[in-house]
Chain A
């Protein structure tokens, strides 16, 4: 007789399929068309986004492969087996700091955008604070709960993105596509760099794959999950170019939200769709932030095993809040953002190579 169970500690690899795009899709896509369009000509940016996507797929696959070859072992356990325990602790701790910075950045950015599009009069500090409280509430619940929230919110997010694209078809101007392939090589590279930043979401693979019950198919699922944001980014980018053209796109701060401005709801029951779009998009940002915070907690929990989860949350939360509030203006926020993006990607690549090489040398299975 099978036990009646909803597997509260274990997840299925389908949930990784949902978790990866839920983590990746967030604030990054809102400004990505701007950062790519500004370094490329006409519609050439899609090549950068595609190449960036391929690179990211490769990294995703190798991280997932590595993590799933140690089924049901936490990150710190298998890294301890490969590179001694002190180094494993350092690696885990750096991941925790990285996740905390991601959380801080998201909490800050959502407040900036919400102030811009929704709440002109409310101070950023208050908006961030309420959002952080929400994140704390989510993380204090069960980890399975977070995965269920991913499943509940991702369809809404994809649906609203689809609406934005579909309702803009009328405004497409194919003239904006040409001239093609005029961008210089360095432009493409710059675009690739920018797009890889907005894909960065490997952190969750390191930590969540250990929760998967049978991680045999997990690398495939993770790669499949990563394909969703790639397709979404490509189509949103092309829509931006087709509607605004390259020069306008590269001067808008959040081109994806501006796209929503053009949408007219049939029957005219609502205007200014961009506010609604961003409201729905908060769900996506929530998923990213909640998972990042949860990973910070999870990582620290494996190091400091005697501190309870709730205590850890209340230790981390103030640090996150202060870090998020530290940048003084939008420029500093964006510098902070790209710094975190680069370090996340480089650090992941570094850890993958380190672990792969040492595991090969020491023949750890």
Chain B
């Protein structure tokens, strides 16, 4: 199968080569235009405009793809200049001289390159540039005229904050880079560009602060990015899956965010941010479990609030992973551990329920997942219906019908709410996956099963890495200094150094001597 397609590909390549073996530009304008058209197979959106330089017989032509360029810009700065600005000027007869004059005097565009081959031409046209041909010369101008409709900067829907900047990344890479520039106005802020996708040729930018990040991290990220071999990467999720350390793990090894403030904070901690054209989600590398539990808001509110919020989030994580399994273990294996009064009321509420707690919990948890998934898919106008239906179905009707016990409804609802209280969707999903494992373990081995599962998750986490950094840092390997910003967050004026576990080049984030 593979061998076959390999041969096919070779054959196809050969045929293509025979059809388009003209790769050089020629001096004749019409021939050039024809070759360009052949190369692209005369697409309907290819706009060709032939005209003459005013006051002479020189033929020239602009070629671009309609929709990728800013038409007004092409008209005002290219065509109009050649047709009008040349009035009264002495147009040289020599083609080369004219070409130089166009370059130097006539074209009033900001970014201009000279192309020599048809490859340059097709790459330029496809990326939204305008190509200007001049008859009688085998060179062309490739003028950057990109201009397409893009989304305005809006507050990200998935990461809303009460307090904090209201801007978010958009699909356009240039806008995103500009956003980063506005957040960190440092000459050492670097953008390293890569091209991803053999066919899609998406731009990917690795952002970092050169004198903060440890060079080995950068090297490792670059090495992994170079290994990407794909036709297209429509979302930064593709990049994440290509370069992550362990694809069997449920845990996200690169954090994604839509918030430029979060990304810039990561840069200042000595991490790198990977931005892909066409995706509003940027990747933060490396990531740790402790980092995944933090939200930018922890820093914007005062330290007491930030600390308490973090403690709350760890409790939420505990509930999101363990609550249903603990309930199952206690009810079916260790009823003696439940206080007598509570045990009675649980027993009373379970009366008439036909299923074991394990089945009950699995049923309810799956219902919860269905509701969540359906809620995402439905249009906003119908979304409310799902809320009502879901509330009635799992809240009331199921209990009335005697399928589940009311306590199980409380347990599952609390569990679901807790998982939505986590700041990152990807980590919340990871917890919800583990949850099912714990439910089954508790259903077969009770508390013993839960602790076995807990140890197992711990074994997995201590062996997991994100771009070479252990996922369990700074808990273990222990960096006590970094605990000042882990669960407990020190007041901002005391939080002066960068995290130790990132082994950054300059330690002090407020040390001005280091900056100069």
Contacts and interface: CB of A to CB of B under 8 A. Distances in A.
Contacts of B462: 141, 144-145, 148-149, 152
Name, among A131, A134, A152, the residue most crowded by chain B CB atoms within 10 Å (CB to CB).
A152
Contacts of B93: none
A130 B445 contact: yes
Contacts of B469: 6
A221 to B, nearest CB: 14
Nearest to A274: B337
Given A2-B503, A282-B451, A148 B476 contact: yes
B379 interface: no
Contacts of B338: 270-271
A270 B337 contact: yes
A148 B462 CA distance: 6
Contacts of A144: 462, 477
Interface stretch (B69-77, B212-220, B231-239, B313-321): B212-220
A272 B217 contact: no
A268 B478 CA distance: 35
B12 interface: no
B470 A148 contact: yes
A39 interface: no
Interface residues of A, number: 37
A275 B216 contact: no
Interface string B478-509: 10000000000000000000000001000000
Interface stretch (A41-49, A70-78, A95-103, A114-122): A114-122
Nearest to B473: A6
B4 interface: no
A164 B215 CA distance: 49
A118 B445 CA distance: 9
A270 B476 contact: no
Contacts, number: 100
A269 B459 contact: no
Interface string B434-475: 000000000001111111100110110011000011101101
A304 interface: no
B339 A134 contact: no
B295 to A, nearest CB: 24
Given A141-B463, A145-B462, A275-B447, A134 B333 contact: no
B14 interface: no
A59 interface: no
B interface residue count range (under 10 / 10 to 19 / 20 to 34 / 35 or more): 35 or more
A144 B470 CA distance: 10
Interface in B205-251: 214-217
A3 interface: yes
B43 interface: no
A94 interface: no
Contact of B448 (A114, A137, A152, A271): A114
A152 B337 CA distance: 26
A148 B456 contact: no
Name, among B338, B452, B475, the residue most crowded by chain A CB atoms within 10 Å (CB to CB).
B452
B336 interface: yes
A183 interface: no
A127 interface: yes
B503 A141 contact: no
A185 interface: no
A158 interface: no
B11 interface: no
B91 to A, nearest CB: 59
Contacts of B503: 2, 4
Contacts of A272: 334, 336-337
A1 interface: yes
B221 to A, nearest CB: 12
Contacts of B470: 6, 148
A3 B216 contact: yes
Nearest to A151: B476
Contact of A1 (B215, B333, B336): B215
Interface string B362-380: 0000000000000000000
Contacts of B449: 130
Contacts of A330: none
Contacts of A153: 458
A271 B343 CA distance: 11
Contacts of B333: 118-119
Contacts of A118: 333-334, 446-448
Name, among B215, B446, B475, B476, the residue most crowded by chain A CB atoms within 10 Å (CB to CB).
B476
16 contacts: A118-B446, A122-B445, A130-B452, A134-B455, A134-B459, A137-B456, A138-B459, A141-B463, A144-B477, A147-B476, A152-B476, A153-B458, A270-B337, A272-B337, A275-B336, A276-B337
Given A144-B477, A149-B458, A152-B475, 9 more contacts: A114-B448, A130-B445, A134-B455, A141-B459, A141-B463, A148-B476, A270-B339, A275-B337, A280-B451
Interface of B: 214-217, 333-334, 336-340, 445-452, 455-456, 458-459, 462-463, 468-470, 472-473, 475-478, 503
